[in-house]
Amino acid sequence: MKRTTRLRTAAATLVLFCLLCVSGPTPSVSLAEHTGAPQAASAQPRRDAHVIMISIDGLIPEYYTQPSRLGLRVPNLTRMKLGGAYAEGVEGVFPSVTYPSHTTLITGVRPATHGIVNNRIFEAPTEPQTGEWYWFSDALKSETLWSMAKKAGLVTANVGWPVTAGADIDYSVPEIKDPSETPAGARSRKRTLQYATPGLVEKVFAGGGGSDNSTDGRRAAISEYIITNHKPNLMLIHFIELDGAHHDNGPRSAAALPVAERIDGYVGRVIEAVRSAGIFDQTTFFLVSDHGFAEVTKKFDPGVVLVKEKLITLDPNGKPTDWKAAVWSASGSCAIVLKDPNDKETAAKVTAIFTKIAAANRSPINRILNQADLKKLGAIPNALLMIDAAPGYAFDDKLTGPETHDSKDYRGTHGQLPSRADMRSALILYGASARVGARMSIARMVDIGPTAAAVLGLTFSEAEGLPIAELLKSGVIPAQTQPNKRSKKPKPESKPTQ
């Protein structure tokens, strides 16, 4: 089936099937658990090495660097940090939203290169607004960790990682949903099963027991099953509920912290499953996140401005009938796309409109990025420009109503420029290949995938990123991938401390 057809007919939800999880207390992580020596550097894939990349969507670094200050109890993240290596923050990609970021994590390149430039696929305002996202792996333009591992004969697995529907992964339950279903229903579960590895979910169902029927609880249970029964060399796991708690309540909020604590327990369960499977001494854990979070009190609707300026035409019922420019929102940032990329008159008018808004006092716009800026950032290549939200603001894609309004129950956002401190994401390495006690100030997201590849004895052919030698034991990185030169020099404060 062609991608365009699948994207129009996709009717599924985020791994929302009825799965009962294995009950039991959250295990603690011992500081002595990672005693396995790193494998010798080699140009060949390491068939006895294992990488488990766990993404906690929306995890801010403060949750593991300063948990006590927040009254946050995350024993597993804390022990991974103390018993491994970590960065105090990660500079991501633009826009700093889930799908572009997760794809950079497993490709080592930026959105304009790997092709996943936003969460939601652009739909012209005169077209049906399906709200479809980049669910399908055939949208990818770059090699991935799983494609390299698969080609090398390694066992691959995925639970909920973005852009994996239809991917060639040995054991896979992709993330895919039907945006029209709130809450998710039977159609969503059916769609998830349609793209999951045949029989995999049913086998986990058959395990029985447990009472945690949350999305992340189910993902933890599936992950435990795959680890126990298949011992994958590469496993990708995506926990999502902290992101929702941050959007609804704001980062560091009293409602969000218990969600972080619960997910910490799921991380502990994954580690315990690895230990029980007998592969702990050969496993390196990458604890990552996709973006940080900023507090929000107001929203700004650039589409309302475009309607007012007659760049989008509405009928009496508010339905778009024609357009010259349209919005492509990414929450904390927004792209403006032209119907005709060669329409210089409209391009000049759009630029003037948003430049004037950005110059006003208390503007909702922090910065306007032109095409040259976007090219440097590796961002949306078909955007005329993008606008970055001012502190306290997020962007919406409405076409009617006030330009600016209170955000109401939307209290946290992301998508802004990755250079902003509140957009920094997370990175902890723990286990066989982590350099215990190493710490760096700011890592780059483009370097994380190549670092995971190096642990498996693999090398990306065209990645911008390079393995982070500062956080790995010596001898892990194959000689031909030693980062003698980076595309950007590391900051002085990024040197590891012992």
Taking the chain (498 residues) in consecutive chunks of 10 residues, what is each chunk's mean pLDDT? 40 35 35 36 82 98 98 98 98 98 98 98 96 97 98 98 98 90 64 92 78 90 96 98 98 98 98 98 98 98 98 97 98 98 98 98 98 98 98 96 96 98 98 98 98 97 96 88 46 35
- CA dist 324 and 337 (Å) reads 9
Ranges of CATH 3.40.720.10 domains, the chain: 31-293+421-494
DSSP type of residue 54: E
Task: Identify the pLDDT of residue 197.
Answer: 97
Give me the CATH code for the 296-413 domain, please.
3.30.1360
pLDDT in tens, 411-427: 999 999 999 999 999 99
pLDDT at position 191 is 82
pLDDT at 205: 76
CATH homologous superfamily for 31-293+421-494?
A: Alkaline Phosphatase, subunit A (3.40.720.10)
- Name the β-bridge partners of 53: 236, 286
The string of DSSP letters for 406-433 reads E-TT--EE-BS-TTSGGG-EEEEEEETT
The amino acid at residue 78 is T
What does the alpha-carbon distance between residue 61 and residue 81 come to, in Å, rounded to a whole number?
Answer: 11
The SS3 of residue 158 is strand
Q: What is the pLDDT of residue 212?
A: 84
Give tens-digit pLDDT for 146-183.
Answer: 999 999 999 999 999 999 999 999 999 999 988 777 66
Q: What pTM was computed for the model?
A: 0.89
Tokens for 142, please give them.
């770059």
Q: Do 225 and 204 form a contact (C-beta atoms < 8 A)? A: yes
Sign of CA dihedral 349, 351, 357, 360: negative
Please check whether residue 114 is in contact with residue 101, taking contact to mean a CB–CB distance below 8 angstroms: no
Which ranges constitute the DSSP H helices of 415-493? 448-455
Q: Is 495 helix (H, G, I), strand (E, B) or coil?
A: coil
For position 213, what pLDDT does the model report? 85
Residue 187, pLDDT score: 60
The token duo for 409 is 């129950």
Residues 6+ apart with CB under 8 A from 152: 45, 456, 457, 458
Contacts of 458 (CB under 8 A, 6+ apart): 45, 145, 148, 149, 152
